[in-house]
Amino acid sequence: MKTERNLIPICLLCAALLQAATTGAQPVTNMAAGIYHSLFLKSGGSLWAMGYNADGELGDGTTNNADLPEGIVASNVTAIAAGGYHSLFLKSDGSLWAMGYNGTGALGDGTNNSANRPEQIVASNVTAIAAGFLHSLFLKRDGSLWGMGNNGSGQLGDGTLNNTNRPEQIVSSNVTAIAAGGYFSLFVKTNGSLWAMGFNGYGELGDGTSNNTNRPEQIVASNVTAIAAGGGSYNDGFSTYYTDHSLFLKHDGSLWAMGNNGEGELGDGTTDGGNYQTNLPEQIVSSNVTAIAAGLYHSLFLKSGGSLWAMGWNANGQLGDGTYVSTNLPEQILAGGVAAIAAGHLHTLFLKSDGGLWAVGYNGAGELGDGSYGAAPNYGTNQPEQILAAYNLISGQLMNGTNMQLSFVGIARTNYALDRATSLSPPNWIPQATNPAASFGPLVFTNSPVAATNNFWRIRRVQ
CA distances in angstroms from 258 to 25, 240, 341, listed in the order given: 39, 22, 20
Per-residue pLDDT, 431: 76
DSSP state of 20: P
Q: How confident is the model at residue 246 (pLDDT cuts 50, 70, 90)?
A: very high
Residue in 276, 273, 202 with CA at minimum distance from that of residue 244: 202
Cα distance between residue 259 and residue 265, in whole Å: 9
- Please say if the pLDDT value at position 8 is more than 80: no
pLDDT of residue 241: 74
| Per-residue pLDDT tens over the stretch 247-277 | 999 999 999 999 999 999 999 998 765 667 8
Interval 159-176: pLDDT, tens? 999 999 999 999 999 999
Q: Mind listing the pLDDT tens digit for each residue in 89-130?
A: 999 999 999 999 999 999 999 999 999 999 999 999 999 999
Residue 354 confidence (pLDDT):
86
How does pLDDT run across 129-165, given as a tens digit for each residue? 999 999 999 999 999 999 999 999 999 999 999 999 9
- Rounded-to-integer distance, Cα 93 and Cα 230, Å: 29
192-218 per-position pLDDT tens digit: 999 999 999 999 999 999 999 999 999
Identify the bridge partners of residue 461 per DSSP, sorted by sequence position: 416
The model's pTM is 0.83
- In which band, very low, low, confident or very high, does the pLDDT at 7 lie, cut at 50, 70 and 90? very low
Please give the Cα distance from 160 to 183 (Å, whole number).
Answer: 14
Task: Give the CA distances from residue 176 to residues 133, 156, 192, 241, 450, in Å, rounded to whole numbers and listed in that order.
Answer: 21, 17, 9, 32, 57
The overall average pLDDT reported for the chain is 86
pLDDT at site 175:
98
List, in order of start, the domains of the chain with CATH numbers: 10-22+392-462 (2.60.40), 28-388 (2.130.10.30)
